[in-house]
Amino acid sequence: MAATSGYGAGIPYQTIATGEHWYSLQPFAFACANGLVDILQPDPQWVGGVTGVLKICHLAQAHGVSVIAHAGMNYPYGQHLSFAMPAIQWGDRSEGVSPPGVPLHERTVLPGTPAIENGYLVPSAAPGFGFDFSLQWLEARTV
């Protein structure tokens, strides 16, 4: 049975999402080809970066499956990817979620990463995904 919105794996009225811990194209292809899920959740850092997620998005789109990149809103490359791919309709923020009273922009990992504000995000228009590394930032992380 092919997956349709709300009917993944043949379970009526239940949307099935998975893939956060799948590490290659093959499990995503199997899930799409067998109608197992409604939403694929590849993590850009675990499936081969932007190129890996691009392949998964094309695969998903061909099978009528949605994609929400796991942690896609955490880093500039995931933000740009999420905005560029028609299969991705939502953004996921999972790393450095702010405790109450702490602004989300204070929890960003990489300099130049726009933060979600009031439920919205505008990716950086700066070159190179908008990273803004300073020599001081790099030296503080050098081993």
Q: Catalytic residue positions? A: 70
Q: Count Cβ atoms below 10 Å from residue 83 Cβ, excluding itself.
A: 13
Q: Which of 133, 136, 11, 9 is nearest to 75 (CA)?
A: 133
d(CA 26, CA 86): 21
d(CA 43, CA 89): 15
d(CA 137, CA 110): 9
Asked whether the beta carbons of 69 and 41 are under 8 A apart, the reply is yes
